[in-house]
Amino acid sequence: MLETSLAGGPVPAVMGHRGAMGHAPENTLASIRTGAALGATWVEFDVKLTLDREVVVIHDDTLDRTTDGHGAVAVRTLAELAGVDAGGWYAPAFAGEPLPSLAQTVRLLAELHLGANVEIKPTPGRGRLSGEVVAAFLRDHWPRDARGLMISCFWPETLAAVRDTVPGIPTALLTFDIADGWRDQLAGLGCSAYHVSHTALTAERVAAVRDAGFALRAFTVNDPDRARTLYDWGVESIVTDYPERLTGL
């Protein structure tokens, strides 16, 4: 039996992207705090396995773009990543911002009473393992004081591992387009939602997904007019770099 918070809960109309990456360095505790300060009640962030099968919050396979480190995340241990600066690249005010572990992040989510869309970014060759480790960690450590939780991923193999490890946890398949066979794929993976790039959406496509019984959520939308159109079509939730722009639409 899942805890109530782990089993999900109402997903808000707005989710902060990688925290609030329009205002702070993506996938950091500072960015999550910023998202909360700007009115987001849920945030999306990316996670990846380290060499020692710990989980850190980062988007890329390598450290180079968003930290002062270099090389692949998957060949470093959690301890080796502890001293990486994940904020100075963004602005001097964020210098010294650490690369957070998933454990640190869920503690902050509890403190701020935030829900989370945890996107798994598997390193090639670790697709199934990534789903197993992340799902098991969230099953064992998801805080009661947080809001709801979902796991999303572009990799069907990873979502299948999540399904098998923690049956019933809300999951969503991520895609940049809606391909043939999506109904059967979502159903087979046990997904409750489809997360699709807003550029691929039309009113007809949104209606088809909703009529099939899946929630439809869109990424990444920063223009309020586009967001209004998507909401009018029936999109349930939008991931955005600027949560304050869409709050109240």
Does the CA dihedral 80-54-186-18 come out positive or negative?
negative
Q: Is 59 a catalytic residue?
A: yes
Active-site residue, selected from the candidate residues 23, 59, 70, 141? 59
Q: At 199, which amino acid appears?
A: T
The three-state secondary structure class of 244 is helix
195 a catalytic residue? no
Of 17, 23, 195, 198, which is the active-site residue?
17
Q: 204-236 as b/e, with b when 16 or more CB fall inside 10 Å?
A: ebbeebbeeebbbbbbbbeeeebbeebbebebb
> What is the rounded distance in angstroms from the CA atom of residue 221 to the CA atom of residue 230?
10
Which residues neighbour 130 within 8 Å (Cβ) at sequence distance 6 or greater? 48, 49, 120, 121, 122, 123, 158, 161
The catalytic residue positions are: 17, 59
